[in-house]
Structure 1
Amino acid sequence: MLGAPTPAPAATATATTADEGFRALERRYVLEFLRRNPTANTYLGGIGLDPSLAEADGRLRDHSKAALEAEDRWLATMEKEFQAAGDLKTPALRIDREVALAQIRFLLHQHQVRHYQERALDTYVDEPSRAVDFTLQGMTVSGTRIGTPEEWRRLAARLRSVGPYFKTAQENLAMGIASGRTPDVRMLVRNGLTATEAGVPYFETKFPGIAAVNISDEPLLAEVREASRMAAAGYRDFHRYVATTFFDDPAKGEKGIKKAFAGDRYAMGEAEYDWAITHNLRLNTTAARLFDESWPIVQATRAKMVKLAREIGTRRKLALPADDDAAVRAVFAALGRDAPTTNDEMFKAYRTTCFRLIDGARRAGLFDIPTDYRLDIMETPEPLRVSIMAAYYPAPPFKASGVGHFYMTPTDQKHQKANFHEMADLCAHEAFPGHDWHYKTMTRFKDDISPLRWLTPGGVEDSSSMWADSMAVEGWGVYAEGLMAEPLGDSPHGLLTPEEHLYVLRGIHFRDLRVRVDTGMHIGRLSYDDVVELLANGPTFLTGSCRDRKASPEQRSACERGEQGAARYARSPTQAITYRLGKEAIEAMRQEVGGDHAKLQRFHLAYMRQGTIPPGYFRDELLRELR
């Protein structure tokens, strides 16, 4: 009959209504998430999403028992609403729903099953300093100064909240003591003692200096200085709490721990590790399987290193021993002598190397790189140096202001400065085409990426984090290292020298080894000391024992680095495996797509426009689009 409605428009209207309703639900969830997670709000620049989120930049997260119980009730309500969302027609929205449900279930599991808030010492210690650093990073730039008066007042309010924040942390740790859930001794020393001690002079001296060069209004400067002094007092009081609660003699470090808190408490356990692999990282495997499959992969990369090291030795006319391990060590020793002598020279060389990679990739057509693309390398803030040698923190993606920070920790007499040949590997991972390029590309297309995919449930970067740096992000970083070394034209080592390629292989070998040690230590297949020795000897090709009191200085130095790595992986289970497994996921998708540089550019861009969630959430849809 003329004018009668047809089923197609009605179905389309229903689909549109369902999709629009989901977008409204998604936005409501994201805004409330950011209000409840002020540090993540600052990190992402939530004020750019909604001006009402400005007030969150003046707070720290409320970890109190009452606040977490209220949050869990809200999360349970959100879970029901996301489950009840209509028949979504847009593929991206279907992915978003799965991501939201995974985030919600992770947080409920974290609070109600693991009760992790009772032992998350590194989270409590790191959050205030990261919140301040993220604030500085996202401030409005005006000439040579950063920050508007409003931004500095919000930061002053945040600094004043440090003391009460640490009081809540003490209450939660006390509940953990009563329930038998306490931090591992290594976390107690590194985060509870060392990091809190470093926070005191930073907020007493250095931060007021930063404020002084950026604030011209004297009353405001006095307010910020006083707030910073209060933050320093908060760190000092929390340091005292940890020292007196958990230690008989804090000056002795691990040896001074009280008997009730001694012993290994780092292992996640096989069931929990498998839950995280499946639920958080979206992988169809188990910790035991990853452990068993890891060693042949480690050995294969090791063989590539031996082959390339011997080629370099021949070209450089080095007299290499017959033993392969000794030959690789000899090549590394020779290359290690070609190093900067000062921190200033080291930072300058890193900048030069990073821009060499950018220029080479632009000429090769690997990426469409704007002519105004720039980056810089900065010294790591003191309170974060206990856990960072090099790291990248992006500009807040939801805001128009702010810059990404590629942090490098200055070295001292105890730690040898990086030689010139190993710099390209770190540049490729942290800067270009790794994290800096990755985040700037995602930010350029942020309107195409749901804000939900940027969220960091549990924490931005600590042992509470769901994504544990994300397979998408760290996987891309390792993929970027290898990409720079892929054969290009008549260059068998791509944009790198053979020596630089050897260090790329060393980095890949290290990430291969991480899968072995992280799974092994958390499911009981390796002891902590086993992990230290594997991390000490694997990347260095040494063969000594870390238990040998007469070990050489070289072996002792390697064992010290191995212990630092073991402590990091003990603190954050599954974080270490995201590097290699993320790289493999990217390579598998790229292989399915195939093609020349034009197709490769298209694949890279399509991948980066998916956001920071693990590839398991979007792999099938991405491949469907590219086909």
Structure 2
Amino acid sequence: MRRLLPLLLLALACSHRPAAAPPPAPAPAAPPAPAPARDADADFRALEHRYVVEFLQRNPTESTYLGGSGFDPALAEADGRLRDLSPGALAEELQWVERLQRAFTDARALQSTSLRIDREVALAQLRYLHHLYAERRYQERALDSYVDEPFRGTDASLQGMTRTGEGTLGTAAEWRALARRLRAVPAYLQVAQDQLQTGVTRGNTPDKRMLVRDGLDTPLASAEYLSKTVPALAEARASGPEKEALVQEVQQAGAQAGEAFRTFRAFVAKTFFDAPDRREAGVKPAFAQDHYALGEPEYDWALKHDLGVSETSAQLFEGAQGLIEARQQEMVQLARDIGRSHQWRLPADGFAAVRAVFDRLGQDYPKSDREMVEGYRAAAFRLVDYARKTGLFEVPQDYQLEVVETPEPLRASVSGASYYPAPPFKRTGVGRFYVTPTGNDVEGLKANNVHAMADLSAHEGFPGHDWHYKTLTRERDAFGPLRWLMPGAVEDSSSMWADSMASEGWGLYAEALMAEPAPGAPAGFYTPEERLYMLAGQLYRELRVRVDTGLHTGRLTYAQAVDLFSQVPDFLPGSCTAPRLSAVKRASCKGAEEAIYRYSKWPTQAVTYRLGRDAIRSLRAEARRQAELAGRPFDLQRFHLALMRQGPVPATFVRAQVLRGLAGVQ
């Protein structure tokens, strides 16, 4: 206590001292600087770029098809791979899909109308992928997708190669990437076997027709193409000091790929057939029932979510009949006019009169497949000359169009003609208008007579697909890159088909456009005979709507659809299953069955032609109406460019944007 007492007294003394003045209050802190406002549009563009790169990394064939390395150099390595559809890879991909769905859903505060459209397109694409793989589990039965991918990847590699000299194509790096892709075929087809085997266990299997054509026939064609045709192309096109080594590498890889396809065919034959030589009759009973129909709920889901169409399959099926009948009557009248101009005696029955005119016109046919291909090329450039003279489009003087025979592996899906564009993200490559040879079959050549060529050339060549894709590629900076993407596949039963509604809708629109009056051409481009085939083309696509919706919702059987496809567009009565068929009817039924097979495995693709055309026509009519209300002339050329500057998406997605742009409103 003695030591504590002095301290206590000191403390008490100190407590009685006067208080010191308080220290001055600190100056109020300056408010924190506001965080810089985030640019939602810039953030979205970064998200979009990442999405496109990651999508194409997961879809390497599509990356090559689109020229992905021209979009982002990181995609160059994808040119040496094939898609990974193994269970583990798909599980990870579905997680990626869900992450991207959340990211695009959250991107709401966008100022740009164009980016808002990109957002909706991306969400539709991601929704489709989740539905395809997680809900439908389509990877377990996607036989045609599996056998098409290696061919498409190889063909896309060849189409996109750099020109290295007169008659030579492909850098050393491009040929090596192709060889790596060929070496990837065995592992890829092993995954296909595993997935199809899982489908067998689950009862989720391909239709018997697909088992025959894509399971037995296409693998043999692909084996031949990859092991023989591709090495021969390397020998003919490669150049430079490494040519010998490159050709040898492609030869070895092609041989491995060809052997893998033969092994895959053996798996299909053993798994699904008792007697593969008997084709459909040899399919095992467990797989012999029809298994192609998508079903009405799924079809309606696809119409709404993939194509942006408000009508249901039932409404489309019923509504198509009136359009078909009206088009038939239009053709009857024109056929009678043609008959009078040639002084032909025609049957009293209207449909028989149309058939009689077709038979007469069919006598002006090419005498070989080579002559047929040349005829289509000549017709396409007649159309180009017409567009220049009438000012319908501004066609550059150096415009080129390549018309060639359809490669063998594609012929199971391409019964007449098709178009494969140049890679839009690259400056190299060329689009091709494919014409499927007839094998010099006389009836097939008659179906491709000189009067029939203009309409198909307008669709596949100019001003259809070739002009459309060339314009889209030239204007690609005007729209978001994700609009080029094709979820599921480029073109097989896994495809979403939104791009088809844009491209095939334009193709069908282009056919009819060339029949419209133009400056100096009051009757349009076609002769009356060519116009009859143009109307037949329109009828063909109108019938497709009824057939496709009927096939996939149970309103039509496969055999009924084949009969309709011979009876209606070819004006040939009778069933294709009748015991005795004329040569003309037999050829018609063969073409009809090939078409119905394609529709049976590609649900909704067949309706995209007419629905896409109608969407363009509706948009054009509204644009004309608004121009007239505003007191300004309607510029058709400007309308076409405004539409194509929206990219390869259905007009249903971009209608408001096109109208605002034409009105000068951003």
Q: Structure 1-normalised TM-score? A: 0.96
Match of 2:228 in 1: 205
Find out whether 1:392 has 2:419 as its counterpart: yes
The residue correspondences of 1:13-52 to structure 2 (distance < 5 A) are 14=37, 17-52=39-74
Contact 2:405 2:436 in 1 (8 A): yes
Taking the aligned partners of 1:197 and 1:534, their CA distance within structure 2 comes to 32
Residue of structure 1 in register with 2:152 after alignment = 130
Match of 2:194 in 1: 171
Is 1:525 the equivalent of 2:555? yes
Give the Cα–Cα distance (whole angstroms) in 2 for the partners of residues 331 and 210 of structure 1. Answer: 44
Alignment of 1:79-90 (within 5 A): 79-90=101-112
8 Å contact from structure 2 (residues 420, 433) kept in 1: yes
Give the secondary-structure state (helix, strand or coil) at the position aligned to 2:635.
Answer: helix
Q: Deviation of residue 532 (structure 1)? A: 0.7
- Structure 1 counterpart of 2:312: 286
Q: Is 1:305 equivalent to 2:331 in the alignment?
A: yes
Which residue does 2:650 correspond to in 1? 614
Q: Aligned to 2:182, which of 141, 159, 170?
A: 159
Map of 1:491-570 to 2, 5 A cutoff? 491-570=521-600
Residues 344-363 of structure 1: matches in 2 within 5 Å? 344-363=370-389
CA distance in 2, matches of 1:556, 1:419: 17
Secondary structure of the equivalent of 2:213? helix
Pairwise CA distance, 1:491: 4.1
Q: Distance in 2 between matches of 1:343 and 1:527?
A: 34
- Check the 8 A contact 1:394/1:436 in 2, yes or no: yes
Between the aligned partners of 1:376 and 1:554, the Cα distance in structure 2 is 31
Q: Per the alignment, in what secondary structure is the counterpart of residue 418 of structure 2?
A: strand
SS at match of 1:107: helix
Task: Note the alpha carbon deviations across 1:329-353, whole angstroms, 9 max, x for none.
Answer: 1100010000111222222221111
* 1:603 alignment partner, SS class: helix
Give the aligned partner of residue 407 of structure 1: 434
CA positional deviation for 1:438: 0.3
1:374 aligns with 2:396: no
Instruction: Give, in whole Å, the separation in 1 of the partners of 2:436 and 2:426.
Output: 27
Displacement of 1:468 after TM fit?
5.7
Q: Which amino acid aligns with 1:613?
A: V
Give the alignment partner of residue 444 of structure 2, picking from 394, 397, 416: 416
SS of residue matched to 1:225: helix
What is residue 599 of structure 1 aligned with on the other side? 635
Answer whether contact 1:473 1:612 (CA < 8 A) is retained: yes
Question: Which of 111, 130, 133 is 1:111 aligned to?
Answer: 133
Which shows bigger deviation, 556-565 or 55-64? 556-565
Larger of the two Rg values belongs to structure: 2
CA contact (8 A) 2:56 2:63 kept: yes
Between 592-601 and 200-209, the greater mean CA deviation after superposition: 592-601
Which residue of the other structure, out of 455, 459, 468, is the alignment partner of 1:429? 459
Alignment partners' CA distance in 1, 2:216 and 2:152: 17
- When structure 1 is superposed on structure 2, of 553-562 and 320-329 the one drifting more is 553-562
State the match for 2:492 in structure 1.
462
- Paired-residue identity, %: 54
Amino acid at match of 2:482: L
Does residue 149 (structure 1) correspond to residue 172 (structure 2)? The answer is yes
Pick from 245, 257, 274 the counterpart of residue 231 of structure 1: 257
Aligned residue in 2 for 1:625: 661
CA distance in 2, matches of 1:364, 1:292: 39
Amino acid at match of 2:174: E
> What is the alpha-carbon distance in structure 2 between the residues aligned to residue 188 and residue 336 of structure 1?
35
Residue aligned with 1:407, SS: strand
Counterpart-to-counterpart distance in 2, 1:463 and 1:483: 30
Match of 2:90 in 1: 68
Matching residue's letter, 1:393: Y
CA distance in 2, matches of 1:88, 1:270: 36
Question: What's the secondary structure of 2:51's corresponding residue?
Answer: helix
How many Å apart are 1:492 and its aligned residue?
4.7
Counterpart of 1:215, as a letter, is: A
Q: What amino acid is the match of 1:196?
A: P
Deviation of 1:556 after TM superposition, in Å, equals 2.3
Task: Tell which deviates more after alignment, 442-451 or 556-565.
Answer: 556-565
Distance (Å, rounded) in 2 between the aligned partners of 1:78 and 1:416: 49
Separation (CA, whole Å) in 2 of partners of 1:490 and 1:94: 42
Mean alpha-carbon deviation: is it higher for 363-372 or for 343-352?
343-352
For 2:246, give the aligned amino acid. Answer: L
Secondary structure of the residue that 1:277 maps to in structure 2?
helix
Q: Secondary structure at the match of 1:372?
A: coil
State the partner residue of 1:586.
616
Contact 1:42 1:131 in 2 (8 A): yes
For residues 197 and 146 of structure 1, what CA distance do their matches in structure 2 show? 27
Instruction: Give yes or no for contact 2:418–2:435 (8 Å, CA) kept in 1.
Output: yes
- SS for the counterpart of 2:153 is helix
8 A Cα contact 2:499 2:650, kept in partner:
no
Contact 1:544/1:551, CA 8 A, preserved across alignment:
no
Deviations 1:175-204 (A, max 9, x none): 100111000011111111111111122222
Give the CA deviation at 1:487: 2.2
Answering whether residue 357 of structure 2 is matched by residue 331 of structure 1, we say yes
Deviations 1:254-299 (A, max 9, x none): 1110011001000101100000000000011100010111100011
Q: Which amino acid is 2:504 matched to?
A: E
User: For residues 416 and 76 of structure 1, what CA distance do their matches in structure 2 show?
Assistant: 49
Q: 1:338 is aligned with what amino acid?
A: D
CA contact (8 A) 1:269 1:523 kept: yes
CA distance in 2, matches of 1:110, 1:206: 34
Cα offset, 1:310, TM superposition: 0.6
Distance 1:121 1:597, change over 3 A: farther
SS at match of 1:98: helix
Unaligned runs of 5+ in 2: 1-33
Q: CA 1:565 to 1:43, structure 2 compared with 1: closer, same or farther past 3 Å? A: same
Helix, strand or coil for the counterpart of 1:462? Answer: coil
Q: Is the contact between residue 390 and residue 520 of structure 2 (CA under 8 Å) also seen in structure 1?
A: no
DSSP 3-state at the match of 2:444: coil
CA distance in 2, matches of 1:18, 1:206: 50
Query: Residues 597, 410 of structure 1: CA spacing in aligned structure 2 closer, same or farther, 3 A cutoff?
Result: farther
Residue 4 of structure 1 corresponds to none
In 1, Cα distance between the equivalents of 2:337 and 2:304?
A: 42
Query: SS where residue 392 of structure 1 aligns?
Result: strand
Corresponding residue SS for 1:587 = helix
Q: Which residue of the other structure, out of 589, 592, 604, is the alignment partner of 1:574?
A: 604
How far did 1:490 drift?
6.2
Question: Match of 2:308, as an amino acid?
Answer: R
TM-score by length of 2: 0.91
Letter in 2 for 1:179: R
Amino acid at match of 1:559: C
How much is the aligned-residue C-alpha RMSD, in angstroms? Answer: 1.5
